[in-house]
Amino acid sequence: MLSGNLGRALQRVLLAGAAMAALGSMAQAADAVKVGCVLPLSGGSAAVGNQTRVGAEIAARLINEAGGIKSLDGAPLEVLFADSQSKPDVGVTETERVISRENVSVLCGAFNSAVTFPATEVAERMKTPWVVVGSVKDEITERDFKYVFRINNKATYDAREQIDAIDLLKEETGEGPKTIAMLYEGSDWGRSHAANVKKIAAERGYEIVLDEAAPPNQTDFGNQLLKIRAARPDAVIVALYTPDHLLFTRQMMEQRLDLPFGVHSVGGGMEDPSFYKALPAEAVSYAFVQEDWQIDKLKVTDDPVIQAANDASVEALGYGLSAYSAQGFSAMYVIADALERAGSADREKLREALVATDLQEGPALITGYQRIKFDEQGQNTFAHGVISQNLDGERKTIWPKANRASDTAPVWPVPAWSER
């Protein structure tokens, strides 16, 4: 549950007066719309899953206190969370349960691509709309499904953005890597990302000198670090969830492994605030991260909704918005918008409303997208991220150049450990 102080943080963006009170009364009287959200609330991805949960809770609280779904007589959102335990089979079972027993109108989740891929098959079979949160495996929205919609990037977009950033820095400085090593977790997400990196890197003239899949929950990355050292890459692209990413980064620092053009993480552990709390600042200096939202956005916006959501996140989690809480927040507003236009909690009518989604302003765009509109496969083709670099203890956006602050200067190539 969120803290009692959360309501005060949200007051910045709530309408006041008698009209507001009347809407609140209507929301109390109307039947709630049940929204199921399958997330990894335990297991290896629990830190991320709970951030996403908090973001969804903040958004639902905002929506409800602002009058609920007005076309449904002020019906409030009731978000029912199901724990996938970071396991595909559990995620499938929980999806079946919330659809059949809880009778939810719509689902969201499930962060882990390995969970989302089979769980969305269940939702499709049971004709229940699913708004994907976090999962990037390309094939999730490449199966001609009619009930699956993804707001965020697919894996192809993530890989392209990483290589685009390397190309930009190379263009700006005249220096850049020729060889790249890849280390990634061995399930759907990691393998999907690796396949895309290999394809795009080959097209751009980069040589992949190491292609290494790592089993989950390792206790030692010594073997992989030896392989990286032996391959002598100019840069390494990493796709690991938080626990494994922590261990790898800690051991890389201990071994003082030098990579002239740095470590490039595709989100994962390096988007997780808990990751940075667990490591000394030197361990992540100069690291590049493909972010699912602009990490330094809070410094350049005065949007009251974003500021209120950030305050609420601080109160609930001890730190501000992350990519994961922002994605959970966005999903609730996309669902609320579809409900408003559908004027019904009926699954089929809601699916039709999601198909027609075209958001170009409002809280659903908190992640930094300019638009949310789904193609015939349910993919938001306007999704994008940014690339940050950890400079002076802060992740600062360096790509695309248009998003880079005037006082941000990328460090490229990166200093050797002995020079830091």
One-letter amino acid at 18 equals A
User: Is the backbone of residue 262 left (phi > 0), alpha (psi -120 to 50) or beta?
Assistant: left
CA distance 325 to 295: 12
CA distance 235 to 258: 9
Domains within the chain, CATH numbers bracketed: 6-153+297-373 (3.40.50.2300), 156-291+385-419 (3.40.50.2300)
CA distance 266 to 211: 15
Hunting for tokens 């350049």 — which residue is that?
Answer: 300
Query: What pLDDT, on a 0 to 100 scale, did the predictor assign at position 351?
Result: 98
CA distances to 79, 295, 385 from 156, rounded to whole Å, are: 31, 21, 12
379 contacts: CB under 8 Å, gap ≥ 6: 141, 150, 154
Query: What pLDDT, on a 0 to 100 scale, did the predictor assign at position 300?
Result: 65
List the beta bridge partners of residue 33. 77
CA distance 61 to 308: 12
In the sheet that holds 106-110, the strands lie side by side as: 77-83, 33-39, 106-110, 130-133, 148-150
- HSE (side-chain half, CA atoms, 13 Å) at 155: 25
Q: Would you say 193 and 241 are in contact if contact means Cβ atoms under 8 Å apart?
A: no
CA distance 351 to 109: 16
Q: Give φ, ψ of 411 to 5 degrees.
A: -100, 115
CA distance 212 to 191: 10
CA distance 44 to 243: 7
List the beta bridge partners of residue 77. 33
The alpha carbons of the chain give a radius of gyration, in whole angstroms, of 21
CA distance 183 to 175: 23
Q: What pTM was computed for the model?
A: 0.81
Q: How far apart are the first and last CA of the chain?
A: 43
Q: Would you say 192 and 137 are in contact if contact means Cβ atoms under 8 Å apart?
A: yes
8-22: b or e for each residue (b if 16 or more CB lie within 10 Å)?
ebbeebbeeeeeeee
Report the SS3 class of residue 263: strand
One-letter amino acid at 274 equals S
CA distances to 266, 282, 404 from 412, rounded to whole Å, are: 18, 17, 15
pLDDT tens for the 420 residues of the chain, in order: 444 444 444 444 443 333 334 444 443 458 999 999 999 999 989 999 999 999 999 999 999 999 999 999 999 999 999 999 999 999 999 999 999 999 999 999 999 999 999 999 999 999 999 999 999 999 999 999 999 999 999 989 999 999 999 999 999 999 999 999 999 999 888 998 999 999 999 999 999 999 999 988 889 999 999 999 999 999 999 999 999 999 999 999 999 999 999 999 998 889 888 899 999 999 999 999 999 888 887 776 778 888 889 999 999 999 889 989 999 999 999 999 999 999 999 999 999 999 999 999 999 999 888 899 999 999 999 999 999 999 999 999 999 998 898 999 999 999 999 998
